[in-house]
Structure 1
């Protein structure tokens, strides 16, 4: 939790690339050391650093990819990055079956994480962040490098920004999120992240209670999540759906299926509702990252995502207690998670659609009219 707001602030102040690299290093060191640590206390401290680094790295990576790819390839971070998360979950089932000791499993994870260190040197800073900081010549060099790799003509030089605006962007902080033009977006997105995370992880924790083996249910959950992410990536580019429609649709499907599953005891029907609900929640979970990033300006985008992710972690922390409530009454978890999904879906009516809208650099860019798109 601590790494999320710190990482968001860091990426806004020092750059996406620096925050990503530092987060990766902080993640890698305790991951490798935890295999040989002699006591629980030291292991717990290592896990704290692991979680801190993972939070900084994940959140910053998503912001960096969103800013570099732009509108035409906005679906990539939705389905590709999130699908890699689900594929990692799928891979844990056979790994855990083969490596039954936790030290062996941790060693395998540390080796996989080491591959991240090999690609860090090839990273470029976000040109959008560089331009927002007044470093237009550096931003232009990055864009030229991207154009060269993609065999496209070099972009024209970037106009020098107004000095006063640049200084204002560089000193932006939490106070900007309290601006009346962002307040509704910020509050609704925090509630959305809390609800979608609670439902997402709550469903994962409930996997052991469905009539399948733990390994099979975990693997199927991962497959359904990939399907949800790919569907979300498709829907956000459709003019009849967009980001807002994909989030609302996922919440409605997930919430309705969870509510219905609370009153079903027949095995096949229960599995259908459970995985249909997981599909809907996964669709919203994947899209909400991109949707939130597009709602906030560049100078506070990392901080906004960090604070929203903090609310998501709170939801994830509370989800086990909701799942345990199933031992008292089996209908409670799906009812609670279902209602949360429906509430979060309903709140989206307060947010604007961001499809076809250029990523805002400042609060003054909020409310820009979407570009015409007939796709």
Structure 2
């Protein structure tokens, strides 16, 4: 029989402890998080808009064609980045002058003093083609929007390990296409594929790491994994400083895949997933190997737990355990729709499914909104800006880690969101002359937002039962990708009409997120729920 709420796998992991067996899981997830920045915020360094100047066809000197490959650069101040210019009597060398198909800029000359080549300069995304530049980032977010929930579904059906291996291999192919395609349309397709496949390995790897970690260590391990993202941002800034060509930078930053793919083949499958798929003997054998590798003796108590795990009733009443046959596509889709609809019959799960997507959308909007707006308070140097973002993220996670162990996820998230949103709203009242005080308010809000983001990466998977953890986490993370699409519209377009719009929108996003988190149950020091019934029991225990 199933244990009342405390499940056998959590009890077994508590005895096995954290040691050599879990290190490959942690290393895999940590390296994957180090890889994410080149995909998520790589456009900051890959598609940098370079200063340029335009020439009409009549204004280009005849000798310009012989100077196209010249390395001499005119003074930076001569690049006005204005379209439709009709310069006459050009006397200086037309270094790196390029002919375009733009009506307002027949010939263009870029300032390559900092970057020898970016997406903007290679594909001439200036003047009337400047509207195509944001697509480089948006198509990646669009791919992630569908990749996160799709990866969760595939992970729950075929296992964490398989989807991680498949996703990283396809991701590596897509990166190679980005670095080699001569057409912007093909680059955009490859970027979309990168975002799609990132959802196949980022969230499943996190679920794999959490599902193999004893309950008492999950907070620390989750936060340490988050440091991989911060470290990846800092390393990306250093790589960009040394490797300035955008194609070379793309390959260099994504070279971590050469380590991640073999490591993904080395790790074992999640014993939780094996148990939920009815492969309980394999799950028990995996836990035995874990105990031996961690140097733990196979005690009678551990043997008894594993025997109970093997003897568990396989006729589970979980809705996902049904209908894994070979139905026709239309029937399979209908069954999937019926299963999704059946989730809402459970009050506890219904609340989670209704609340968490809005939290992730708002927190992504808050995080990215501050990040884009923070450039006004830091530096116009892109390398310093990216590195500083990583440092702030690192500090936020480091400060949150010890607090999350002692304070519940729910209370901590509520406080971080509330203070972050309030600081942004108060920033509106600070006079423009007090730049340092405004900087402190905005940067503090960013630190708190970054910390709350990391707490959610631990909190949200703990809310869902194992049978739908990956697809549930993928679904809410996918809704967060909508925030990636929405934030640029506010920081780039709406702010031109209303100067305080970023503060108000992001501030309210933080306050509303705090209110929504109050509707969710606490998960600190509780075993991960295995079934939908466990989620309902947790809700009843919370009420009592």
1:8-27 equivalence runs, <5 A: 8-27=152-171
Moved over 6 A (4+): none
2:269 counterpart of 1:102 = no
What residue number does 1:357 align with?
A: 526
What residue number does 2:326 align with?
A: none
Is the alpha carbon distance of 1:211 and 1:63 closer, same or farther for their aligned partners in structure 2, counting shifts above 3 Å?
closer
What residue number does 1:327 align with?
A: 496
What residue number does 1:373 align with?
A: none
Is the alpha carbon distance of 1:244 and 1:192 closer, same or farther for their aligned partners in structure 2, counting shifts above 3 Å?
same
1:145 offset after TM fit, Å? 2.0
Residue deviations 1:256-298 (CA, integer Å, cap 9, x gap): 2211223332221122111110111111100112111111111
Whether the 8 Å contact between 2:318 and 2:532 is mirrored in structure 1 is no
2:257, 2:442 → 1: CA distance?
Answer: 32
What residue number does 1:215 align with?
A: 383
1:112, 1:362 → 2: CA distance?
Answer: 36
Q: Calculate the aligned-residue CA RMSD, in Å.
A: 1.9
2:439 counterpart of 1:268 = no
2:197 counterpart of 1:64 = no
1:329 offset after TM fit, Å? 2.9
Whether the 8 Å contact between 1:134 and 1:160 is mirrored in structure 2 is no
1:208-287 equivalence runs, <5 A: 208-213=375-380, 214-238=382-406, 241-264=407-430, 265=432, 266-287=434-455
Whether the 8 Å contact between 2:210 and 2:222 is mirrored in structure 1 is no
Whether the 8 Å contact between 2:239 and 2:253 is mirrored in structure 1 is no
Residue deviations 1:73-104 (CA, integer Å, cap 9, x gap): 11234321211111111222222222222111
What residue number does 1:366 align with?
A: 535
- Ranked by relative contact order (alpha carbons within 8 Å, sequence separation 6 or more), the top structure is 1
State the aligned residue count: 368
1:113 offset after TM fit, Å? 2.3
1:291-370 equivalence runs, <5 A: 291-324=459-492, 325-368=494-537
Residue deviations 1:309-338 (CA, integer Å, cap 9, x gap): 111000111011111222333321011101
2:372 counterpart of 1:205 = yes
1:114-263 equivalence runs, <5 A: 114-154=258-298, 155-156=302-303, 157=306, 158-165=309-316, 168-171=319-322, 173-179=339-345, 180-213=347-380, 214-238=382-406, 241-263=407-429
What residue number does 2:49 align with?
A: none
1:232 offset after TM fit, Å? 2.8
Is the alpha carbon distance of 1:343 and 1:167 closer, same or farther for their aligned partners in structure 2, counting shifts above 3 Å?
closer
2:166, 2:220 → 1: CA distance?
Answer: 24
Larger radius of gyration: 2
1:176 offset after TM fit, Å? 4.6
Whether the 8 Å contact between 2:281 and 2:310 is mirrored in structure 1 is no
TM-score norm. by structure 1 comes to 0.93
Q: Counterpart of 1:165 in 2: which secondary structure?
A: coil
Greater share of residues in helix: 1
1:20, 1:114 → 2: CA distance?
Answer: 14
Structure 1 gaps, min length 5 = 371-375
TM-score norm. by structure 2 comes to 0.65
1:341 offset after TM fit, Å? 0.6
Whether the 8 Å contact between 2:284 and 2:310 is mirrored in structure 1 is no
